[in-house]
Structure formats: C-alpha cells, structure tokens
Structure 1
Amino acid sequence: MSWTIILANLAPVFLGLGAMAAFAWFLDNLMGDTYQPSSSNKDDEEGKGEATPTIDWRRGMVRLIGLIGIPMGILCFVSFAAILLTPGLNIYGDPLTLFLLAWMGIALFLTPINKLPWAALIGLAAGLIAVVAVVALAPIIPEIITQQIPLKYILIGIFIIVGVVVFTLFKWAENILDLITTIMGSRPFLLVLTFLALAQAIALPIVWFVFGGYGGLLWFFFH
C-alpha cells in the first residue's frame, strides 16, 4: 500500500484532530484575559489599583491543544490531494469528506499564515531572482549598454520593475484569499466546522466497517 493511499485513508483521523484544534481556536477567541487586583501597593489593597493580567491555566490548555491546528491544516490538505490522486483506491473519497478536508485546511493553515504580506514577499523574491539572473548574465550583456548606464543602476531598475509588477499581479489574489480565510475562519464557521468534521470523522469508519457503506454522514441521509 502506497503512502498516498495511507494518507487518503487517514482522512477521519485528520478531521477528528482538526476538529479539536478548530474548537480550541473557537474557545480561545471567546476567552479574554483574566485579571485580578494587584497587591503591590495600598491603593491596590483598597481596590483602586490597576488590574494586572494573570495566567489563566484554562486558556493555556486551550492554546496548547490549538498548537496542532496548523499541522492538522497541512495534513488535511495533503489528505485531500491524496484522495484526488487515488480515485477508486481509497474508502473516504465522498464529496462531504473532500469539502471538510479543504475547509479544515483553509481554516487551520491558510488563516494564520494569511496575515503575512504574501504579495510583497513574492514581489521581493521575484525582484531578487531577476537581479541574480542579470548578474549571472552580466558577462554577455552588450558593453554599449553598460557603458551608457552603470550596471548597478540597471540592477536597481530591474529589481523595482519586476518587484512592482509581480506585487501587483499577486495583490488581487491576496485580497481574495484574505476574504475567503476571514469568512471560513470566523467564529460561527469554526463552530460549524468543528461539529461537522467531528461527526464525519466518527461516521466514516462506522459506516464503512459496520454497515459496509460509503460516505459517512451522507450514507445516513441518503441510504
């Protein structure tokens, strides 16, 4: 059995663990910092001092569980791709499972990293690659060009032009991705995702091994 089929058939495990992480993120969003009066001076003892933050062990546990979120998001994307690459060879390739794997990947993986300025980073990388390519080709650049314009100014111009063009092209994609991740990773969607993914993670093996069926929750609704 290939690793692709194994990853495809581990979809219920990834959905279940992802549901735990999604619910932890949901709870973390609801929880605020816990405060208690400071006793460092008399005003504090009288209840007039400034409140100081204290460690809430419950929120710490929630965040600890939430640490598996990004790895589970990656694994959900991997399992999604594995199912598509092994049609007919896996037992969990139903539409609902594919949808939940994709949603889980977006909510747990793309939402956190979407805060990075990807368009700017890609534009910067493209500009640097273009500069390196020109430097590598410098010996064959016609001398008439380098005599009129110093090479360093040519490199600066190429870096700016390539960087701006690539940044502009990727900025619209970044805006669309930001909209999708904002919606899919919001509190209501995280809560719905948690219960749907957990229910599907439980239903998939039960339907397959007990009833010999296919599709998890879909089997119960359409059988």
Structure 2
Amino acid sequence: MLLQAFDYTENVFRPFAAYGAFFLLLLGGIWIINALYEWKSRGSFSKKEMEEWDRKITTFLKVLTYFSFVVGVVCIISGVAELILKEPLAVYGQPDTFTAILLIVAGVATFLKPINDIPIASIVGLIAASAVVILVAVFIPPDVVELLGQYVDPKWLMIIIFIIVFAIVVTLAKLAIEIFIAISKVLSWPPIAVIFAGFCFVQVFFLLVLRATLIPIGQPLTPWESFLQSIEEFFQSVFNF
C-alpha cells in the first residue's frame, strides 16, 4: 500500500529530469577518467586495440566499471524523464530536448562501455540459472517432487537444472553480446572518450554559464543562440553553403 501511495513521477522522475545537467557533468567526468585509464593501460593515446592478456582487472577498474553502469542507467532515466515530462532544468530554467537526447545517448554508451571489462555473459547466466532453479523449487508440485525422488535426489536434480540452464544462457548471451562488445571496444578508444566528455562539458557550460543550449530543438532561441545563428547565416550567404 505504501508503494502504491508513493508518487514516483513527482518524487523520482521529475528530480532526475531537473538535475540532468548535473548527471551530464558526471558523465563527462567518467569519460575523462576512462580516457586517462585506457591511455595509461594502452601506453598510447591513439592505440586502438590492446591485447587481452595486457588488460589487468584492477580494483580501480572494477569500481569504475560498476559505477559506470549505475551512472549510465541514471542518465538514461533522467533523459527519458526530461523528454516525457518537459521538466525545466535546474540550471537552465526551461526544458531542453538536446540535453535529454545527449543524456540518453551518452548514458547508453556509458552503460555499454564496461561490457568489455566484465564477464557479462557469466553474470547473465548465473542470474538466469538461479532464477529458474528458484522458480522450479517454488512452483513444482509436491507430488512431482515425490515421484522424481524415487529415481533421483531432488538436490541433484536442481544442480543439474542449474548447470544446464547456466550453460545454455551463457552460450546464447555470448553470441548476443558480440555486437555490444564490438561497440564497447570502440568506446574504449581514448579519443572517442574525450569527444564524448567534450560534448557533455560544452553542453553543461552552455546551460550553466551562457544560459543557452548547444543545439536548440523545438524552443525559442536565446540571444546567444540568435547570435550564433546570425553568424552561421552570414557564412552561408558568403560562401553559398
């Protein structure tokens, strides 16, 4: 009853949307840290790949990995909430569609980035196998348990089910996440991380200092944005773009 009475829209989603600029700043910081870590690990800022045996799963990497997952999810929620609720940003005073889109895109990228650093297939397999065993143990009729008990110990049956489900899910998960691992490797390249961080920092600077948005989408232009548009129109007229 208490959960039903709690207003998630007003108490969760609106604050998440209102503080989108803060989450965007946090994203930029994570991507800069990622870039510096990958730079140090690869021994080069522009080296695109690193041999698997060269990657050491340090405590710092584990903390950064799981923190990135959490921040990625939070930013996705913040961006979606901003798109739906049109909540004015705390530092901007009005809704901003571009910030919402940037939060979602960068949030998804931040969520996918650590996939190359953790055994995600094994984690998915472990969760799925555990869930199946729990469901079987809870919902299997007592008569069936008694019948099976005449041929095999139910404990061994649960272990067998767990192993089978785990093996199947891990195999399928490995096939399914290959594309995400490829994306993760691209996102791990330091120049890409710096570009992502740059977009986040520039947008926060526009919102906080210039009281404008980098790319106005579906809203009146501020004086700064009008100035930028006039410069763009000038160059277009001069060079016939």
TM-score when normalising by structure 1: 0.64
> Which one has the largest radius of gyration?
1
Aligned length: 187
- 1:87-166 matches, cutoff 5 A: 88-90=86-88, 91-94=94-97, 96-112=98-114, 114-136=116-138, 137=140, 139-141=142-144, 143-166=146-169
Post-superposition Cα deviations, 1:87-108, rounded to whole Å, max 9, x if no partner, equal: x4444442x4234213432444
Provide the C-alpha distance between the structure 2 equivalents of 1:93 and 1:169, rounded to a whole number of angstroms: 40
Post-superposition Cα deviations, 1:109-162, rounded to whole Å, max 9, x if no partner, equal: 442365222222222222233233333436231644332333234223312222
Corresponding residue of 2:77: 78
Corresponding residue of 1:47: none
> SS of the counterpart of 1:207?
coil
Corresponding residue of 2:29: 20
> SS of the counterpart of 2:212?
helix
Instruction: Compute the displacement of 1:214 (Å).
Output: 6.1
Corresponding residue of 1:45: none
Aligned-residue Cα RMSD (Å) equals 3.8
Work out whether residues 100 and 193 of structure 1, in 8 Å CA contact, stay in contact via their aligned partners in 2.
no
Instruction: Compute the displacement of 1:31 (Å).
Output: 4.2
Provide the C-alpha distance between the structure 2 equivalents of 1:150 and 1:28, rounded to a whole number of angstroms: 50
> SS of the counterpart of 2:117?
coil
Which letter maps to 1:82?
A
Which letter maps to 1:192?
I
Work out whether residues 114 and 181 of structure 1, in 8 Å CA contact, stay in contact via their aligned partners in 2.
yes
Work out whether residues 20 and 194 of structure 1, in 8 Å CA contact, stay in contact via their aligned partners in 2.
yes
Corresponding residue of 1:50: none
Runs of 4+ in 1 over 6 A off after TM superposition: none
Provide the C-alpha distance between the structure 1 equivalents of 2:84 and 2:101, rounded to a whole number of angstroms: 16
Post-superposition Cα deviations, 1:184-210, rounded to whole Å, max 9, x if no partner, equal: 3321211111221111122235127xx
Post-superposition Cα deviations, 1:8-64, rounded to whole Å, max 9, x if no partner, equal: 12222222232233223323433479xxxxxxxxxxxxxxxxxxxxxxxxxxxxx9x
> SS of the counterpart of 1:148?
coil
1:198 lines up with 2:207 in the alignment: no
1:11 lines up with 2:20 in the alignment: yes
Q: Note closer, same or farther for the CA distance 1:158–1:32 as it changes in structure 2 (3 Å cut).
A: closer
Provide the C-alpha distance between the structure 1 equivalents of 2:125 and 2:106, rounded to a whole number of angstroms: 28
Provide the C-alpha distance between the structure 2 equivalents of 1:218 and 1:5, rounded to a whole number of angstroms: 27
Which letter maps to 1:122?
V
Provide the C-alpha distance between the structure 2 equivalents of 1:193 and 1:92, rounded to a whole number of angstroms: 22
Provide the C-alpha distance between the structure 2 equivalents of 1:81 and 1:26, rounded to a whole number of angstroms: 26
Identical pairs, percent: 25
